[in-house]
Chains A and B, each alone.
Chain A
């Protein structure tokens, strides 16, 4: 019995640490490392089960590595894929900290991107110094406005944000489809729903095109770094951030301490939406140059995983976003080189999260690398 009690205690301690987002070397380095290895091994087993021969499996993992960090181009692709994931993930992390489960990042990404495109092509004459910030702000505002619908409804009527954000997501696809067919948005001479392109002045400048015009990495990564720093500052150094965290940890205590619960909900949702909107703007201004139906390509949903993996800590979100970006970029290379479907990446991503969110499982599989006294007794 004592053994069991001990294990329970240990599990509690682990869970507490997992939600804090801080921890020691083991949790921050060894667990993710082993989680990634375990996920890759299981991914290889999946390939074996679907009749892929071992040589191809080896080739595909080499391609995965090369495609993510193996060259300047690979690094550029990784950063390009990671940027929107980190931005949207930061917003979601803020919401999670405040106890709000915002599934609506996808819709907020779409609305933000759409607003940025519209502002971009509406003022073609402006210089980049003026136009680019305007587009980014428009994206952030649109995302914030769309998210605060759910925040307001939660605060005013108690409508659960999970259901309202799901409905807002589904609506956002339709709103986008409708807008893309409007004559003032649709590109001239096109029958399919494609928006006009943003002028050069509104595009996030490419950073490495002097090296090779195909390198897509763009100034959005500075936006990402600034956003990480801002969220860290907001969460841990400001009063409103403290109120976010307090109402997420214990809403009753926060209310008794005199925090304005409803205001916090609306502000937290709006801030989360602003980051998701920024992610959409980053995507259209830095990569796509225009809006098409469903241009978000699931960023809003992947960002949920990124925020969870990063344990809702800004730095964690940054690292998780980079990992997911690397898998994304490497997966494309893998598909080209080895002919293994990129959908394998989805499996690997899910497995990594399982192993990280349930550290006991990793400790059971890989007993090495952990101090003896920390391990659960069999």
Chain B
């Protein structure tokens, strides 16, 4: 009896997956048609991608791609992937096909936009990395909180608090002082969130929304009340790029990874550390246990409340560091609401990256790529309205989340308060 039920259930799951595979297949075939009809018609000439900057010691020759053939090949590959999905309903392949399909689409688009012109690929990749930093750090903060089952909507507010503190203290004490206090203030807001949701058991989403409102109100108020009059308080030094010798000279990868400022290195190191910590150490395992089944963790002697306090505070510190990027890492001055929703995109990156630090970083790179692409493409004069280009990463996120994340799972106890017995 139970076997029959399990069998029926497995079958139902299978058909659901097959349906998903077919939907993905249809989407891919649609994208193939789109590629041929929009990019393929009257595209001639070569697309030139510059891989090196003029003063690089190791210069690579330009990458020259014949536009017309490349686009048709990409469309054919897309159609093949789609047809394969449709016919075979390849279970495991759904995610890979969708990822490869979207990558092909982006490549075809780039070649089409660059046909007959030249375009610096290296510069764009470098900008991608820079723009991904706050999103990746926001996502990482989210991972740290949600792995111990605290939903952190307040990432946006913590980023903003970090940016503000960075500018204010940075102007008074210099860059390092600003950075440290941004981290401390971010941590303080993390601690506040933990206190509200763990000790006072306030609704986690309400607490997050409140922190966002509070930080936005406070920083905007001080900015218009004080900074507008005393400009010296809002003029922080900026961390310049440090080129790592040798590694920084590698073509393409060098400028992207090894010729950046402190924040890029910091983000990469933090993502690596967090991954190691969460998945390869005893304390990380305990933290994840608190997120999955707090009662069981408590029974085994893990202090659930303390674990949540520590990780949410750590998440706040990471977000504070990410916030400092906006001021100390780029322009040196604070503007009202300058994070502009990056914290929410970080939240999306976390879900997109399946609650894993590396996943969040990858998702952040996708957003950063789209962001810098949109900027550079303004130079190339494409006929597509820039609004649609700006929208494309959001739509891609929706497609990917709908296509893949149905199966990714949040920590089991996510968002639920724990009451000790």
- Which residues on A are within 8 Å of B, measured CB to CB? 8, 11-12, 15, 19, 46, 50-52, 101, 103, 153, 156-160, 162-164, 166-168, 170-171, 174-175, 177-178, 181, 304-305, 308, 340-341, 343-351, 353-354, 357-358, 360-361
Contacts and interface: CB of A to CB of B under 8 A. Distances in A.
A170 B347 CA distance: 14
B369 to A, nearest CB: 16
A171 B394 contact: yes
B209 A304 contact: yes
A178 B213 contact: no
Given A174-B388, A175-B391, A177-B387, A159 B220 contact: no
Interface in B205-247: 205-207, 209-211, 213-214, 216-218, 220-226
A195 to B, nearest CB: 15
Interface in B368-421: 385, 387-388, 390-391, 394-395, 397-398, 401-403, 405-406, 419
Candidate in B20, B222, B352 with the most chain A CB atoms within 10 angstroms: B222
Contact of A350 (B210, B336, B351, B397): B210
A51 B226 contact: yes
Secondary structure of the B side of the interface?
A: helix
Contact of A349 (B203, B213, B402): B213
A39 to B, nearest CB: 10
A178 B221 contact: no
B374 to A, nearest CB: 10
Contact of B405 (A158, A178, A304, A308): A158
Given A153-B401, A156-B402, A164-B402, 16 more contacts: A19-B203, A46-B221, A153-B398, A162-B351, A163-B351, A166-B345, A167-B398, A171-B391, A177-B387, A340-B225, A341-B220, A350-B217, A353-B206, A353-B213, A357-B203, A358-B202
Interface in B335-368: 336, 341, 344-345, 347-348, 351-352
Contact of A157 (B202, B210, B223, B402): B402
A163 B221 contact: no
Interface of B: 20, 196, 200-203, 205-207, 209-211, 213-214, 216-218, 220-226, 336, 341, 344-345, 347-348, 351-352, 385, 387-388, 390-391, 394-395, 397-398, 401-403, 405-406, 419
Nearest to B397: A167
9 contacts: A46-B218, A157-B20, A160-B405, A163-B401, A167-B395, A346-B218, A350-B211, A351-B214, A353-B209
Contact of B207 (A163, A181, A357): A357
Secondary structure of the A side of the interface?
A: helix
Candidate in A46, A171, A177, A340 with the most chain B CB atoms within 10 angstroms: A171
B69 to A, nearest CB: 32
Nearest to B417: A15
Contacts of B224: 341, 343
10 closest cross-chain pairs (CB), A and B: A346-B217, A350-B214, A347-B217, A343-B220, A350-B213, A343-B221, A158-B406, A178-B387, A167-B394, A341-B224
B210 A347 contact: no
